[in-house]
Amino acid sequence: MKKVLIVDDAVFQRHLIKEILQDQGLEFMEAASGEAALEKLKNFEFDLVLLDVTLPGKNGIETLTEIRKTHPSVKVIMVTAQSQKSIMMQAVKLGAEDYLIKPVRSDRLIFTVRKVLGLKEN
C-alpha cells in the first residue's frame, strides 16, 4: 500500500483530500506545517507528499527544497491556492512532479496522484 503525507495547515483541506482519495488504496498521514512534515519524513517512509505552498513557518517551497535534499526518492505534488506561474515553475525546477490549484477538482486530484504513483486504472 502506497503511503501519502498530506501537508496543509487547514484541517478541512487535509480531510477533503483524504476523502477524495479514500478509495484509491492509499495510506495517509497528515502534517499541519513544513516542520511537522519534515519530522514525519524522518520517522516514516512515504511514497508521496501532497504539499501546500502556503504554510506557517517553513513554507511549501522551503519544505520541498529540504525534502529533495533529505528524501530525493519521495514524490511531491504541490497544492496551492495561488496560481502564480513563478511559484509553480520554481516548484517544478526544485523537483515537484506536478502542482494542483485549489480548489482541486476530485477527478484531477485522483488522476494526478495515480499518475505520479504509477498506479493502474481502477
Look at the chain and report how many structural domains it folds into.
1
What radius of gyration do the chain's Cα atoms show?
A: 13
**122 lies in some domain:** no
Residue 110's CATH number: 3.40.50.2300
Q: State the residue range of the domain holding 34.
A: 2-117
Which stretches of 29-105 are DSSP H helices?
A: 34-43, 60-70, 85-93
**50 lies in some domain:** yes
**22 lies in some domain:** yes
Q: What is residue 81's predicted lDDT score, i.e. its pLDDT?
A: 84
pTM: 0.95
Q: What is the mean pLDDT of each run of 10 residues along the chain (122 residues)?
A: 97 96 96 98 98 95 97 96 81 94 94 95 64
Q: What is residue 122's predicted lDDT score, i.e. its pLDDT?
A: 58
Q: What is residue 114's predicted lDDT score, i.e. its pLDDT?
A: 97
Handedness of CA 5, 67, 70, 112 (dihedral sign): positive
- Collapsing DSSP to helix, strand or coil, 99 comes out as strand
